[in-house]
């Protein structure tokens, strides 16, 4: 192997599976405590937004206005939603306190995963600059699978996986949509869930789709159910999947009866 190839090999991030045991412990005793909560790009998923806005007891519109930056992607229907750092406070996350994350139970997926990155093939690597995270030099060890459960990652992975079933086909189909109303509707359904609930219950929506009473009750009260429903609605409307059933208009019923 030539020298460049050896260097490349040395610098290649180690890929770990869920059985891998790694050294890590993050607690107020580490010298870098809360340092990773400043000047960081945290991309929020729709489920992150649900958890955060509920933890803050504000609605999704207020949350998006106050705490996010929305970066449109030129060739993509779904923009990137990023948590806004506090420019007046050394770019610290607005939710960090001296004792750590004030929204710890509801912190975003990427905060739960730090200092690991998930690779496309489902393996894990450490973040680029390991030296910044002193927790990785502690003697305590963790098995990745146990650590993920401890961090509350599985429910995030489950919902994010459903989200990928929306984003991946949209990317693959490369839909040529230039109607801003469609962008707005898709964004509302994914990220502005309280507005989407109003849309479902205060428009003619329920007159158009067959929904069981039990489903309607769940959508009224449960944000996660509503979010999953919004995925189905986008798959129905944009991807042509049979995720919803359209009601038969009354005239058609009469014609059929006659
Ligand atoms: S949400 Fe919590 S864990 Fe994530 S950066 Fe902010 S303070 Fe840190
Ligand atoms: S950099 Fe690592 S050890 Fe330090 S606070 Fe963040 S996760 Fe914990």
Q: Which of 44, 92, 93, 152 to mutate to test the pocket of ligand 1 (most atoms within 8 A of CB)?
A: 93
pTM: 0.90
Per residue of the chain (258 residues), what is the pLDDT tens digit?
A: 455 555 555 556 689 999 999 999 999 999 999 999 999 999 999 999 999 999 999 999 999 999 999 998 766 788 899 999 999 999 999 999 999 999 999 999 999 999 999 998 999 999 878 888 999 999 999 999 999 999 999 999 999 999 999 998 887 776 666 778 888 999 999 999 999 999 999 999 999 999 999 999 999 999 999 999 999 999 999 989 999 999 987 665 555 544
In the three-class reduction of DSSP (H, G, I as helix; E, B as strand; rest coil), residue 158 is classed as: helix
Residue found under tokens 């869930």 = 193
Long-range contacts from 147-152, C-beta under 8 angstroms, 24+ separation: 147/22, 147/24, 148/18, 151/112, 151/113, 152/105, 152/112
Protein residue with least CA distance to atom 6, ligand 2: 36
Helices 46-55 and 60-67 cross at an angle (nearest 10°) of: 100
Q: Is the CB of 37 under 6 A from ligand 1?
A: yes
Residue 63 alpha carbon to ligand 2 centre in Å: 26
| Boundaries of every domain in the chain | 12-153, 154-239
Residue 201 alpha carbon to ligand 1 centre in Å: 34
Residue 108 alpha carbon to ligand 2 centre in Å: 15
Ligand whose nearest atom lies closest to the CA of 40: 1
């Amino acid at each position: 192997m030539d020298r460049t190839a050896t260097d490349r090999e040395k610098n290649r991030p180690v890929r770990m599976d869920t059985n891998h045991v790694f050294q890590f412990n993050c607690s107020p005793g580490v010298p870098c405590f809360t340092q990773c909560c400043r000047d960081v790009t945290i991309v929020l998923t729709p489920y992150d937004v649900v958890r955060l806005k509920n933890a803050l007891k504000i609605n999704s519109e207020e949350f998006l206005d106050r705490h996010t930056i929305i970066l449109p992607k030129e060739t993509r229907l779904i923009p990137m939603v990023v948590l806004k750092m506090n420019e007046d406070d050394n770019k610290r996350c607005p939710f960090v306190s001296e004792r750590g994350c004030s929204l710890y139970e509801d912190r975003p997926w990427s905060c739960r995963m730090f200092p690991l990155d998930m690779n496309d093939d489902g393996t894990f690597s450490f973040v680029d600059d390991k030296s910044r995270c002193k927790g990785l030099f502690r003697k305590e060890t963790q098995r990745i699978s146990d650590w993920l459960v401890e961090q509350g990652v599985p429910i995030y992975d489950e919902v994010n996986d459903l989200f990928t079933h929306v984003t991946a086909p949209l990317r693959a189909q490369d839909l040529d949509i230039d109607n801003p109303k469609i962008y707005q509707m898709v964004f509302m359904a994914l990220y502005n869930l309280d507005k989407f609930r109003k849309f479902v219950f205060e428009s003619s929506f329920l007159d158009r789709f067959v929904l069981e009473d039990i489903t309607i009750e769940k959508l009224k009260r449960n944000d996660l159910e509503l979010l999953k429903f919004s995925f189905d609605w986008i798959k129905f409307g944009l991807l042509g999947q049979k995720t919803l059933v359209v009601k038969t208009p009354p005239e058609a019923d009469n014609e059929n009866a006659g």
